[in-house]
Amino acid sequence: MNNRIVLARKVVIAALVITALAVNLGAFTRLVDAGLGCPDWPGCYGHALWPNEVHEVAAANQAFPDTPVEADKTWPEMVHRYFASTVGLFIIGLVLLCWRNGPRKLSIGLLFMVLLQGAFGAWTVTLKLWPQVVTLHLLGGFTTLALLWLLFQRLWQFKWPENSGLLAVKRLAIVATIAVVMQVALGGWTSSNYAALACTDLPTCHGYWLPTADYQEGFDIFQEIGPNYLGGQLDNDARIAIHFSHRVGAIVVTLILLTLLLKVWRAGDYFARRWAILTTFILTAQILLGLSNIIFALPLSVAVLHNAGGAALLLCLVTLNHRLFTMATNAQHAAVEQRV
């Protein structure tokens, strides 16, 4: 095997680990309200790390009087930035390694994605946590992780045995992936608008199965920019609309995934059934984490794990789609060869 591909296999594993950490560090930063812990970009109060000494803090407070230094919020933001920058370096390395013999287009797509993520990271700060940008930044992180996972699958050439019965779930697998992405976006919109605790009871919301909610304001993606979205600006009814939509979305996604899992189990072999068991476990954990967020008033560890669970579900679906598309492509090639 080409030495570049052997090295690329190792690099993509490292990139996956760093990206997963960066995605969850981003969630941690958002949940501890540290998104504006550093009011400038790419530095932090003009520092490569963050102001730590007494004289550095005093100088930073003088330079940024509207955003005084909060020590517990500067380091999460900068640690997240440096992890994200490290992801970029790994992806540049993957582009170089895959240029001749590897999945070149996929690696180039990853490079463009991580550059766009850098821009979203900057806009998150300069636009003062504008929910549209924060949500896109979250989706960009998930997309980067998913593309790296796909590159990992392709470099290692993972595949399942041919199974015509499994090909019947190909369309449903795509639908399930779209549904999970939409639910992740709803989760990001819920978090960026500080609507996670808009409903604090279960299974109702403020005692109603259909609570009073302002969906027009809650999903106004053309809301004005600024001055500062830390803590959110929407009225309570708008936040209820967002939160309740995320709940309904969770039910819809669960039903779609359960249908997919049942079909894969019935048509699958040993490998497909192992995938179904793992995905069922992650889905169950994700549901329990979502419920725990409401019951226990958004504990930090639970909220971060809920973010990680969403990413894990997405990677499970990327795996299934990759296997199915590889299987379908191989079947097409076999059919062509038989005709010849």
Residues contacting residue 302 through CB under 8 Å, at least 6 positions apart: 289, 292, 293, 296
What confidence tens digit (pLDDT) does each residue in 5-57 have? 899 999 999 999 999 999 999 999 999 999 999 999 999 999 999 999 999 99
* Positive or negative: CA dihedral 216, 217, 219, 225: positive
Please choose, from the candidates 94, 89, 79, 80, the residue with its C-alpha nearest in 3D space to the C-alpha of residue 147.
94
Residue at a domain's end among 136, 157, 178 = 157
The three-point CA angle 146-290-20 to 5° equals: 25
Query: Is the same domain home to 170 and 133?
Result: no
337 is catalytic: no
**The domain boundary residue, chosen from 157, 183, 204:** 157
What is the tally of structural domains in the chain?
Answer: 2
* Backbone torsions φ then ψ of 69, nearest 5 degrees: -65, 130
Looking at the structure, tell me whether residues 137 and 179 fall in a common domain. Answer: no
Q: What would the pLDDT profile of 286-310 be if each residue is shown by its tens digit?
A: 999 999 999 999 999 999 999 999 9
249/201 same-domain check: yes
| From 49-53, 245-249, 283-287, the region with the lowest mean pLDDT | 49-53
pLDDT digits (tens, 9 = 90+) for 308-332: 999 999 999 999 999 999 888 877 7
Torsion of CA 18, 19, 21, 27, to 10 degrees: 160
Buried b (16+ CB within 10 A) or exposed e, 42-64: eebbebeebbeeeebbebbeeeb
Q: Indicate whether 338 pLDDT > 70.
A: no
Read off the pLDDT band of 333 (50, 70, 90). low
Catalytic pick among 53, 56, 70, 77: 77
Amino acid, single-letter form, for residue 163: N
Pair 25, 80 in one domain: yes
What pLDDT is recorded for position 12?
Answer: 96
Q: Is residue 4 domain-shared with residue 127, that is, in the same domain?
A: yes
124 and 209: one domain? no
Cis peptide before 161 (omega within 30 of 0): no
Q: What is the pLDDT of residue 327?
A: 87
* Domain endpoint, select from 128, 157, 186: 157
In a shared domain, residues 296 and 228: yes
Q: Each residue of 94-151: pLDDT tens digit?
A: 999 998 888 989 999 999 999 999 999 999 999 999 999 999 999 999 999 999 999 9
State whether 172 and 306 are in the same domain. Answer: yes
Q: Which residue would you say has higher pLDDT here, 225 or 47?
A: 47
The verdict on 86 and 133 lying in the same domain is yes
Range of the domain at 178: 160-340
Q: Of 15-19, 208-212, 220-224, 235-239, give the lowest mean pLDDT range.
A: 220-224
In a shared domain, residues 111 and 184:
no
User: What is the residue type of 167?
Assistant: L
- Distance in angstroms (rounded) separating the CA atoms of residues 180 and 256: 9
Same domain, 150 and 5: yes
Considering the domain architecture, whether residues 316 and 170 belong to the same structural domain is answered as yes
Query: Is the pLDDT at 228 greater than 80, yes or no?
Result: yes
